A and B are shown apart, each in its own frame.
Chain A
Amino acid sequence: MESTDAIVLSKLSKRYGRAPDLALKEVSLKVTQAEVYGFLGANGAGKSTAIRTLLNFIQPTGGSATIMGYDIVRQSMEVKRHVGYLAGEVALYGKMTGKEFLGYMADLQPLKNKSYLPELIKRFDADVRKPLDTLSKGNRQKIGLIQAVMHEPEVLILDEPTSGLDPLMQEEFFKLVREARERNACVFVSSHNFAEVQRMCDRVGFIRQGKLVAEQTLADLASKAAHTFTLTFADHAPLAELQKLPQATVSAHDEHNATVSVTGELSPLFAVLGKHHVTRLHQQEVNLEEEFMQFYKGGRDA
Chain B
Amino acid sequence: MHNPLIAIVKKELNQRRLYMLWWSLGILALVALTVLAYGSVKDQADQLNKAFGSLSSSISSFVGTSDMFTPVGYLNSQLFYITLPILFIILSVTLTGGLVSKEESHHTLELLLARPVGRSRLLLAKALAAISVMAVLGAVTAAVTIICSEAIHIGVSNGYLLVTTFWMILFAGAFGAIAFMLYAASLTTRRIAAVVAILLSFGGYILTSIAGLVHGLSWAAKLFPYHYYDPGSMLRGKFPAGLAIYLAVIYTVSLVVALLGFRRRDIN
Contact = CB atoms under 8 A, between A and B. Distances in A.
B107 A91 contact: yes
Interface stretch (A38-46, A78-86, A253-261, A272-280): A78-86
Contacts of B265: 59
A107 B4 contact: yes
B202 to A, nearest CB: 33
Contact of A80 (B8, B15, B106, B114): B114
A77 interface: yes
**Which of B113, B265, B266 counts the most chain A CB atoms within 10 A?**
B266
B215 interface: no
Contacts of A110: 2
B58 to A, nearest CB: 48
B7 A87 contact: no
Interface stretch (A50-58, A116-124, A184-192, A214-222): A50-58
A97 interface: no
Contact of A57 (B108, B116, B267): B267
A191 B266 CA distance: 23
B264 A105 contact: no
Interface residues of B, number: 22
Contact of A95 (B2, B15, B107, B117): B15
Contact of B107 (A77, A83, A89, A109): A89
Nearest to B14: A100
Contacts of A16: 266
Nearest to B107: A91
Nearest to A82: B116
Contacts of B116: 77-78, 80-81, 108-109
Given A87-B107, A91-B108, A104-B7, A56 B113 contact: yes
Nearest to B264: A59
A108 B15 contact: no
A58 to B, nearest CB: 4
A261 B116 CA distance: 51
Interface in B108-126: 108, 110-118
Nearest to B105: A91
Contacts of A95: 15
Contact of B114 (A59, A85, A89, A92): A85
B266 A108 contact: no
Residues of B contacting A: mostly: loop
A231 B116 CA distance: 58
B115 A105 contact: yes
Interface string A122-160: 000000000000000000000000010000000000000
A59 B117 contact: no
Contacts of B114: 55, 80, 83-85
A291 to B, nearest CB: 32
B7 A107 contact: yes
Contacts of B264: 59
A158 B200 CA distance: 45
Contacts of A81: 116
A107 B2 contact: yes
Interface string A65-101: 0000000000011101101110101011101000000
Nearest to B10: A107
B108 A108 contact: no
Contacts of B111: 87, 91-92, 105, 147
A105 B2 CA distance: 11
B107 A108 contact: no
A108 B4 contact: yes
Given A80-B117, A91-B106, A108 B112 contact: yes
A55 B115 contact: no
A85 B4 CA distance: 18
B77 to A, nearest CB: 41
Contacts of B11: 104
Contacts of B8: 108
Contacts of B7: 104, 107-108
B113 A109 contact: no
B247 to A, nearest CB: 32
Given A58-B267, A59-B264, A59-B266, A108 B110 contact: no
A58 B110 CA distance: 11
A56 B11 CA distance: 24
Contacts of B118: 76-77
Contacts of A83: 114
18 contacts: A52-B110, A55-B110, A57-B110, A57-B267, A76-B118, A80-B113, A80-B114, A80-B117, A83-B114, A85-B114, A87-B111, A89-B107, A91-B111, A92-B111, A93-B15, A104-B7, A108-B115, A108-B117
- CB-based closest 6 A-B pairs: A91-B107, A107-B7, A85-B114, A58-B266, A80-B116, A57-B267
